[in-house]
Structure 1
Amino acid sequence: MDVWLEAALNGPWGRDRQPGIPVTADEIVADALAAAGAGAAVIHLHAYDERSGRQRDAYEIYAPIIERIRSSVDVVCCPTIPFAGSGDSTEPLSPAERFAAVERLLEAGLIEWSVVDPGSVNISLADDVAQGREGFVYANAESHVRHGLALAQAHRMTPSYAIYEPGFLRLGAALHRAVPGAPQPVYRFMFTDQFTFGFPPQEWALQAYLRLLRDEAPGAPWMVAGLGVDVEPLIGAAVRAGGHVRAGLEDAPLGCPDGNRELVERAARLITDAGGTLATAAQVRAGTAGLP
């Protein structure tokens, strides 16, 4: 089986939470090329303001980074949208404002996937909860999800669904059915060790998600991923069940001492050990092209 390996390079953490993430354009490009060399066919990245060291989802930052990556290696690039509710995106945004950079990147022909997360959830570290420090609500109103799916429909973009809780899967499948012609989303099951949402990275939890997926979106592609998690123990089970894999510093436990290259190399090795074959970007495109 051809297994899609996605590298999630940095996430929204900033270096205070995840010291090893790439932040500058040069760092992001270097890590993307290293991850591609280690076997990743999909590159997921967050754009950063280099002066503040915080996430800033601006076309002017994304575009030159993605152009540099694509000029050197054939990969599928997947940006994100503002992490609504976090310290970097506290002000309410309309759906069009939230997806503004994504829409421009689509019009420029620079991306093929984008984050379209179908639900809202409390993002809280277990340690913070114990010490009385409050997390935040990651908010994705239905109108925002519909807007993202409409862009997917118009531009033949693959929506990347982060499934933090089982309800995300049910709502995401229902909204996809409500937007005829939108390409089939990729369902990323978001496991965690350090946060308090969703499921821990256990095989019983993977089986629960797969049972629900069979009911709500039979045949949809899926992968194991997460935040603040070591997903490596699940990779073999995921590959044997027909799934795909995401690895990288966005997902790794906060404070991870390894870099993106090492994380992707280990994931690639576990995929092949389980009998999978690393897919190329062309094979990823072919795997999503015919999905309704």
Structure 2
Amino acid sequence: MTVWLEAALNGPWGRDRQPGIPVTADEIVADALDAAAAGAAVVHFHAYDERTGRQRDDYEIYAPIIERIRARVDVVCCPTIPFAGSGDAAEPLSPAARFAAVEKLLEAGLIEWSVVDPGSVNISLADDVAQGREGFVYANPESHVRYGLALAAGHRMTPSYAIYEPGFLRLGAALHRASPGVPQPVYRFMFTEQFTFGLPPREWALQTYLRLLRDEAPGAPWMVAGLGVEIEPLIGAAVRAGGHVRVGLEDAPLGCPTGNRELVERAARLIADAGGGLATAAEVRAG
């Protein structure tokens, strides 16, 4: 079994919640190169405004970072879109505005994958709930998902579907069936321990998603991932079931003391222990 290993380098957290994330362009490039050297074939990251230390999804930030990475290593680079509803994207945006940077990156030939999350969900930390602090609604109206899938069809881009709840899988599969010409999405099962959405990182939960995937999108590629989660105990089961793996400081428990390179190295060892081999970027592209 050849396993795709993705490194999610930073996420939307800022250093106040995840102190070890790369924020500056130099830091993101360095972590991406380290992750590739450790075995990652896919690198996912959020662009940051270096002045404020907050996420800012601008082509002018993404493009030079991706160009520097691609000049050094062959990896699939996967950007994100504004985390609608969060403090960095609190105001409603049109579909075109949310995907503006992605569209420019596609036109420049810099990316092959991008986030197209098929659903909306409450993002709340369990500790915050207990202390009376509210989370936010990560909003992805159907019109936004359809817009992202139209871009995927036009540019032969692979949609990266984050599956926060089972309904995301069902809607994502239905929209893919209704969208001729869209490449096969990758279904990324988002487990969690620190947040209150979705399912915990347990084998029964993985089997639940796999049973639903067989009904809705048989044969589609999938991977284990999450937010605020220790995913390593699930890696062996995922590999043996024919899946792929995402790790990194975006997904790790908040306050994680471990860097991205070590997280990728540990995942690579667990994949090998389960009988898997690491895919190259060329093998990921070939499906």
Which residue matches 1:32? 32
Which residue matches 2:123? 123
Q: Is 2:175 the counterpart of 1:183?
A: no
Counterpart AA for 2:84 = A
CA apart distance, 1:62? 0.1
Q: The residue matched to 1:17 in structure 2 has which SS?
A: coil
Q: The residue matched to 2:7 in structure 1 has which SS?
A: strand
After TM superposition, the structure 1 = structure 2 runs for residues 1-292 of structure 1, keeping only pairs within 5 Å, are 1-287=1-287
- Structure 2: segments with no counterpart, 5+ residues: none
Q: In structure 2, what is the Cα distance between the partners aligned to 1:82 and 1:90?
A: 9
Counterpart AA for 1:3 = V
CA apart distance, 1:28? 0.1
- Report percent identity of matched pairs: 90
CA apart distance, 1:128? 0.1
Counterpart AA for 1:184 = Q
Q: In structure 2, what is the Cα distance between the partners aligned to 1:275 and 1:195?
A: 31
Counterpart AA for 2:278 = L
Count residues in correspondence.
Answer: 287
Q: In structure 2, what is the Cα distance between the partners aligned to 1:87 and 1:198?
A: 22
CA apart distance, 1:54? 0.1
Counterpart AA for 1:247 = V
Which residue matches 1:290? none
Q: The residue matched to 1:223 in structure 2 has which SS?
A: strand
Residues 92-116 of structure 1: per-residue CA shift (max 9 Å, x gap): 1100010000000000000000000
CA apart distance, 1:240? 0.2
Q: The residue matched to 2:254 in structure 1 has which SS?
A: coil
Q: The residue matched to 2:26 in structure 1 has which SS?
A: helix
Residues 103-145 of structure 1: per-residue CA shift (max 9 Å, x gap): 0000000000000000000000000000000000000000000
Residues 60-84 of structure 1: per-residue CA shift (max 9 Å, x gap): 0000000000000000000000000
Counterpart AA for 2:32 = A
Q: In structure 2, what is the Cα distance between the partners aligned to 1:259 and 1:40?
A: 14
Counterpart AA for 2:62 = Y
Residues 200-229 of structure 1: per-residue CA shift (max 9 Å, x gap): 000000000000000000000000000000
CA apart distance, 1:59? 0.0
CA apart distance, 1:53? 0.1
Q: In structure 1, what is the Cα distance between the partners aligned to 2:113 and 2:34?
A: 20
Q: The residue matched to 1:284 in structure 2 has which SS?
A: helix
Counterpart AA for 1:185 = P
Residues 171-200 of structure 1: per-residue CA shift (max 9 Å, x gap): 000011111110010000000000000000
4+ residue segments displaced more than 2 Å: none
Counterpart AA for 1:27 = E
Q: The residue matched to 1:189 in structure 2 has which SS?
A: strand
CA apart distance, 1:253? 0.1
Q: In structure 2, what is the Cα distance between the partners aligned to 1:286 and 1:183?
A: 12
CA apart distance, 1:46? 0.2
Residues 20-41 of structure 1: per-residue CA shift (max 9 Å, x gap): 0000000000000000000000
